[in-house]
């Protein structure tokens, strides 16, 4: 059983937690306001495998750590506690919410490269940022299912991406590793693989999207 640390327990974070505990992992949920504010979220998961902790505890205790917070909050992450950790970056840069970041505006960095710069001792893999949270929950399928969906991932560590691939398999998804963090712009907002392959947000069930569909969408990205 793996321990999944979650820094940020909103829509994506809590959905990943729900999928993880369904797959028999333990989920440690945290946010910026403290464990006591997550009582209802933990209760809604209905499992002793989920509990609320501080962000530092989620970082220190997690075998892998999902970061699902606004990009503007990246500098506030517990960098020391995340040293040596595998960090799954689920964030997206939205200037109206995050403020203007010159390195992201001029495209000299992707948002995941920006996160890695702030967490130099962690391994960062981009994942979960391109799918609507209800689709993430409802498109999960068992191994071998003909309608199993694929999520794109990018990162600089082969070992880290193998670990993420294993985690995705355990929660009902295949993974498409298409390259390093420098290429992770391919799954950022506005690109073909962002949201669209999994169907309209008006349909909570989502549309299954296999590896061929996701590979084609990643390849069609343009900057």
The pLDDT tens digits for 28-42 are 999 999 999 999 999
pLDDT value, residue 198: 98
- Alpha-helical segments (H) within the chain: 11-22, 39-45, 55-61, 79-82, 95-98, 102-105, 111-118, 133-138, 158-170, 211-219
pLDDT digits (tens, 9 = 90+) for 63-76: 999 999 999 999 99
pLDDT at 24 over 80: no
pLDDT per residue as tens digits for the range 171-209? 999 999 999 999 999 999 999 999 999 999 999 999 999
Q: Say how far apart CA 83 and CA 56 lie, in whole Å.
A: 11
d(CA 185, CA 190): 10
pLDDT at 8 over 80: yes
pTM above 0.85, yes or no: yes
**Whether 101 contacts 93, CB under 8 Å:** yes
Q: Sorting pLDDT into bands at 50, 70 and 90, what band is 125?
A: very high
* Cβ contacts of 35-40, under 8 Å, gap ≥ 24: 38/9
Is the pLDDT at 1 greater than 90? The verdict is no
Q: In this structure, are strands 150-155 and 174-177 parallel, antiparallel, or unpaired?
A: parallel
How would residue 46 be classed by pLDDT, with cut points 50, 70 and 90?
confident
List phi, psi (to 5°) of 138: -90, -15
Share of the chain above pLDDT 70, in %: 100
């Amino acid at each position: 059983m793996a321990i999944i640390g979650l820094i940020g327990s909103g829509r994506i974070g809590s959905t990943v937690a729900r999928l993880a505990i369904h797959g028999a992992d333990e989920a440690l949920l945290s946010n910026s306001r403290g464990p006591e504010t997550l009582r209802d979220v933990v209760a809604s998961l209905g499992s002793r495998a989920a509990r609320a902790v501080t962000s530092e505890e989620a970082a220190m205790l997690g075998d892998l750590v999902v970061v699902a917070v606004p990009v503007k909050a990246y500098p506030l992450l517990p960098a020391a506690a995340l040293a040596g950790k595998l960090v799954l970056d689920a964030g997206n840069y939205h200037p109206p919410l995050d403020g203007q970041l010159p390195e992201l505006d001029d495209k000299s960095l992707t948002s995941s490269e920006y996160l890695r710069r702030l967490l130099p001792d962690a391994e960062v893999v981009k994942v979960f940022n391109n799918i609507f949270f209800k689709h993430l929950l409802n498109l999960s399928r068992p191994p071998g299912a003909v309608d199993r969906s694929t999520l794109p991932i990018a990162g600089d560590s082969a070992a880290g991406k193998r670990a993420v691939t294993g985690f995705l398999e355990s929660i009902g998804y295949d993974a498409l590793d298409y390259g390093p963090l420098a290429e992770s712009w391919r799954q950022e907002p506005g690109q073909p693989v962002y949201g669209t392959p999994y169907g309209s947000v008006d349909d909570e069930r989502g549309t299954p999207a296999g590896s061929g569909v996701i590979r084609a969408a990643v390849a069609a990205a343009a900057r």
